[in-house]
Amino acid sequence: MASVVEKVIRGAVSRVLGGIASFNRRWLPVPDGPYPYFTGLHEPAAGEYTVENLHVTGVLPPELDGRYLRIGPNPVHRDTRGHHWFVGDGMVHGVRLQGGQARWYRNRFVRSRKVSEALDVPMAPGPHRGRFDNVNTALVAVGGSAWALVEAGSAPVRLGDDLEQQAYDDFGGTLQGPFSAHPHRDPVTGDLHAIAYRGDEPDSVRHVVVSPEGRVRRELRIPVAHGPMVHDCAVTERYVVILDLPVTFSMKSMLSGQYFPYRWNPEHPARVGLLPKDGGVADITWVPVDPCFVFHTANAYDTADGQVVLDAVVYDRVFDGSTHGPASNPRGLERWIIDPAAGSVTRRLVDAAPQEFPRIDGRRSGLPHRFVYTLGLPEAFTPDIVGASHLFRHDLHTGERQRHDFGAGLAPGEFVFVPRHEAAAEDDGWLVGFVIDAAVDATDLVVLDATRFEGPPVASVRIPHRIPVGFHGEWFPAR
């Protein structure tokens, strides 16, 4: 009961601080418990809010005209049985910046079947594709709209500009199979390339290509063994890079009631595939790599001598014990040189510090990049990421690593790069992301100048409640 009272007070404070139109639509029950992904920085938002004309500290660059959106898991029911952090119901948080002001903040559940039943609200229209319609992982711009994405099943969800309208959309009926949370932009055509998979197709993954207008123009099934989990891929001017690594579908986990039925599988050979972007299955060059796992690539590009450079955050192994979420830190940021002629992958450690969510200047997708920005993790792994209060900026030309420390008690998430203008040089722009201020249960949308990375923020926008730890964000410029 105490926690409910706290939240009512917090909601009232939000309304006062937030200005014109703060409201919460409904309250969810908040049982107490030690489960790490329902408590602390992960504690789900208790309702949906709209806050207008937010308080800004510093000066918001007027060039930042658009929306920062971020998505993550926000379970409507807090049942720990079989729960995994990765499968919580999706919630999108967004902030609209315009003319040096922060016009609004909104958070909205993705209107899946389960969310609709729990909150007694209409489901988002469109093809939900069965029971597994939870969309919670990443966002991408296609055809002038923001889309919420998830891997392994559900169709994406197209979001209205103010997040009030949502529709499940299989790219206008052109997507036959699953999609991915991490498609990558083709530097030549502007198409999105993804490697997609789902549990009921353990013998294949799919190369899916979506045109800039939002129509699927290719779905190629690629034979694999054991049903690997493929969270990310990479694209270059010539290739799609396929990561076929030893986390695979586990029927045993499925039958034991786990919502996340993927486990480390030492029987599954680790390999990297180079698929010519318009090639067939026979054109893929598969190259073995030592067993490891990659959630996120930063970028990849071709070299003049026919190799592919891939930067990624690499784990020695994952999902080998805990059934609730990752249970250890990555080994760091690595550079892989994939040589299809030699059939080899050479791995070089760029930085051993624990870090995740690597991002680049998106205009360098598939092209040589110089800078990678990552979220620092605590030295000792902890599910609630207490102690993660820094970002890294890697200059891969000089080898210099800069560190931006937000300070004790401040917990950043993934930051995204926004160029100063379309013709600006790489790294000439801002980094934008959420930082939780745990002491006062609030969140800031923080803007850093990428070229003065270690300096104080250019601006921060106060959101008068805590936005729980989430997954991925994106900047959507105003049209």
Confirm or deny that 231 is annotated as ligand binding.
yes
Give the residue from 34, 70, 29, 35 showing the smallest Cα distance to 469. 70
The span from the CA of 357 to the CA of 33, in Å, is 28
Confirm or deny that 93 is annotated as ligand binding.
no
Counting beta carbons within 10 angstroms of the beta carbon of residue 219, is it exposed (0 to 12), middle (13 to 18) or buried (19 or more)?
A: middle
Q: How far is CA 122 from the centre of its chain?
A: 26
Q: DSSP readout, 234-301?
A: EE-SSEEEEEE-SEEE-HHHHHTT-SS-EEE-TTS--EEEEEETT--GGG-EEEE--S-EEEEEEEEE
The span from the CA of 414 to the CA of 449, in Å, is 15
Backbone Cα Rg of the chain: 21
Confirm or deny that 193 is annotated as ligand binding.
no
CB < 8 Å & 24+ apart, contacts of 347-356: 347/289, 347/290, 347/314, 350/311, 350/394, 350/396, 351/392, 351/394, 351/401, 353/392, 353/401, 354/329, 354/330, 354/378, 354/379, 354/381, 355/313, 355/330, 355/392, 356/295, 356/296, 356/313, 356/330, 356/414
Confirm or deny that 182 is annotated as ligand binding.
yes
User: Where are the extended beta strands (E) located within 59-174?
Assistant: 66-73, 90-98, 101-109, 138-142, 145-149, 157-159, 166-168
The span from the CA of 7 to the CA of 174, in Å, is 44
Contacts of 389 (CB under 8 A, 6+ apart): 376, 405, 406, 407, 408, 409, 410, 411, 412
Give the residue from 363, 323, 334, 351 showing the smallest Cα distance to 82. 323
Counting beta carbons within 10 angstroms of the beta carbon of residue 166, is it exposed (0 to 12), middle (13 to 18) or buried (19 or more)?
A: buried
> Would you list which residues are annotated within the binding site for Fe cation?
182, 231, 296, 472
> Would you list which residues are annotated within the binding site?
182, 231, 296, 472
